[in-house]
Chains A and B, each alone.
Chain A
């Protein structure tokens, strides 16, 4: 009798778990990419989703328009037969105009939604997110944005980025966020540099080369390449320096009223293609090449940082460095000081495996 009663209990538990809300993959509309644009004070939303047919699966683009960010998602439900789900959302791309107006409300919503992962990719589109998503529909690659961002972080000049890193930089004092920047190029979607933000507003776009310079400062990079131009043996040599692994060290001097920072960049790199006359197998030439490259990079990074200071954006997180070494920290005071702090750069490049 007792045993029987126990079995009834077990049965009950099973039945009850079955009652919960089910969301079956083929019966919901999974959104893979979301695009947002600002147009005449209204928000235009677009979404890339899959439509599962018997034989083939197709990519579809949903479009809607609303005056309010929070009604965009419910609006998608009105134009699809099945329920819209965000559990598989891999990327959110915003138009340039939307980004210029600030993305705080958007990212705050994303970070509060438990169904959204923190590895979601955010991106900025030139000029509208809708055109990028249309390009993606044309190519029929649903995860284009997230995949190409991941690929570029791994092999090229894009610093590591995702929703968490954006939030870290946005809400952390003494830092400004950055996002990958997408453009349309001959009917194809192209990742082209980085969008820099001041607080949550887009201010400036940097190219792929500058993106490399940022990458080696914000992380221990294992990829990336930069074109160079040096004068060696009185001859001009151009080529591509490939980063194998890099490391940046920051020294902060707090003794004066305005702090000064020394950035030391150490790069192990490789030059795979170079002119015949340049005999890099000769150790002496190699040393000279390393020296020339170091001073070239030093110059480039210095110019880049000056540019950032002029723009008053701080994607490297110099402010955070100063904060971590100051007993009294006032962010608004630092913001005023930022364009005037002295930042000196030294670079030392070691070349490995020069292709011979």
Chain B
């Protein structure tokens, strides 16, 4: 079921950079430093590079499959697994994507609660954000892309204080002795770091919406590269500023680094940062939800606005049920494990299956004329 999409619903290949970058960088960058140092210590920035390199490989695999004619996740699944099993697998992936959106939303709300409004209920903050998400996702893929663009540009102004002010407290000695950890430790830390790179896999959903999609591959790689470099830079600044023991005691190192910034008119920068961070997590949630609505339309034929409303209700319900930090951390941990399996197990498996017989089928199918047309939002 290859489909064609109206050109007015598509975006230029260049925007893939923003789609990839905005979706990789999210809530994780506020506190990833503490988890990655548990194995590789202050050599963990190497692990970030390793993880980034592996993501490049996965992106290459994805594009290889998509360029070879599979178009998106659903047709790819059908090619590899056949009609019914393919649909089932697509459905499982949809749940996984929904879970990512939910956890990002829930984590953000928990930060807002922790730092700004300790007495506020989870559901009230969630509801406000959900209304905004409704507005964006209902606008269709181009609107979501626009939010991705803003999600990269607006937080960029935060980078200046983040990289400038901590240098007053920088201790270059912290990074030494360099390369003192063996490869096993580095890989173990890279494994912990990978969850921060999640979000690029959404290319499986929006690929058909890219004009001259095959040309967008370099932009996808650029998005991963810039994200990797950003993570490494933030990690190094953190390592320079905090001693290892101190980092262990801090929950959100990036926010804490901003706590030290002193600006005459503003005593505490982190309030601004947390508020602005909404622009960083919005693309994550919106693109994930858009992906799910698109999937439900492909699989079950539900109109996207209806499934969107359904999803928002499920998010609100989920937020209401998942109260408290401990279950959230458990859920995040679970998601981390699942995403590891998804990236390093499932995608390579698909790749192998695709090489074995999917490619043949896809070329066979392309020879049969008359693709169905559909209206996509």
Contact = CB atoms under 8 A, between A and B. Distances in A.
Interface of A: 9, 12-13, 16-17, 19-21, 108, 111-112, 114, 117-119, 164-165, 167-173, 175, 320-321, 323-327
A168 B131 contact: no
13 contacts: A9-B135, A12-B131, A13-B128, A19-B120, A20-B124, A112-B251, A117-B268, A119-B260, A168-B171, A171-B244, A171-B246, A171-B248, A325-B176
A16 B262 CA distance: 31
B375 interface: no
A12 B120 CA distance: 17
B177 A324 contact: yes
B169 interface: yes
A21 B260 contact: no
Interface stretch (B7-15, B110-118, B155-163, B198-206): B110-118
B338 interface: no
Contacts of A13: 128, 131
A173 B117 contact: no
Contacts of A119: 259-260, 262
Residue picked from A111, A168, A321, A327, most chain B C-beta under 10 Å: A168
Cβ-closest 4 pairs across A and B: A172-B243, A171-B245, A324-B176, A21-B119
Residue picked from A21, A172, A175, A320, most chain B C-beta under 10 Å: A172
Contact of B244 (A19, A172, A325): A172
A321 B173 contact: yes
B351 interface: no
Given A13-B128, A20-B120, A108-B249, A114 B114 contact: yes
B251 to A, nearest CB: 8
Contact of B117 (A21, A108, A164, A325): A21
B325 interface: no
Contacts of B245: 170-173
B241 to A, nearest CB: 8
B248 A118 contact: no
Nearest to B259: A118
A17 B131 CA distance: 13
A171 to B, nearest CB: 3
A173 B246 CA distance: 10
Nearest to B114: A114
A112 B259 CA distance: 12
B177 A167 contact: no
A173 B244 contact: yes
B243 A168 contact: yes
Given A16-B124, A16-B127, A327-B180, A111 B169 contact: no
Contact of B131 (A9, A112, A170, A175): A9
A323 B245 CA distance: 14
Contacts of A175: 243
A270 B89 CA distance: 77
B246 A167 contact: yes
B118 A21 contact: yes
Nearest to B117: A20
Contacts of A320: 171, 173, 243
A9 B124 CA distance: 14
Given A167-B246, A172-B245, A327-B177, A114 B115 contact: yes
A248 B354 CA distance: 62
> Main secondary structure on chain A at its contact with chain B?
helix
Interface of B: 114-115, 117-120, 124, 127-128, 131, 135, 169, 171, 173-174, 176-177, 180, 241-246, 248-251, 256, 259-260, 262, 267-268
A171 B249 contact: yes
B249 A111 contact: yes
Contacts of A170: 245-246
A175 B241 CA distance: 15
A169 B242 CA distance: 9
Nearest to B169: A164
Contacts of B250: 111
Contacts of A114: 114-115
Contacts of B131: 9, 12-13
A118 B119 CA distance: 23
Contacts of B115: 114
Contacts of B118: 21
Contacts of A117: 259-260, 267-268
Contacts of A325: 176-177
A149 to B, nearest CB: 14
A172 B173 CA distance: 12
A168 B256 contact: no
Nearest to A173: B245
Contact of A16 (B128, B241, B243, B256): B128
Residue picked from A21, A117, A321, most chain B C-beta under 10 Å: A117
A229 B250 CA distance: 47
A168 B120 contact: no
B262 A171 contact: no
A262 to B, nearest CB: 16
Contacts of A19: 120, 124
A327 B41 CA distance: 13
Contacts of A12: 131
Contacts of B120: 19-21
Contacts of A112: 249, 251
A248 to B, nearest CB: 13
Nearest to B166: A164
Contacts of B135: 9
Residue picked from A164, A169, A175, most chain B C-beta under 10 Å: A164
B119 to A, nearest CB: 4
Given A17-B128, A175-B243, A324-B177, 7 more contacts: A9-B135, A111-B249, A111-B250, A172-B246, A320-B171, A324-B173, A324-B176
B260 A164 contact: yes
Contacts of B174: 324
A319 B299 CA distance: 62
Contacts of B241: 164
Contacts of A20: 117, 119-120, 124
Nearest to B135: A9
Contacts of B114: 114
B136 to A, nearest CB: 13
Contacts of B242: 168
Contacts of A321: 173
A9 B138 CA distance: 14
A340 B259 CA distance: 39
Contact of A173 (B124, B243, B249, B260): B243
A16 B241 CA distance: 39
B124 A168 contact: no
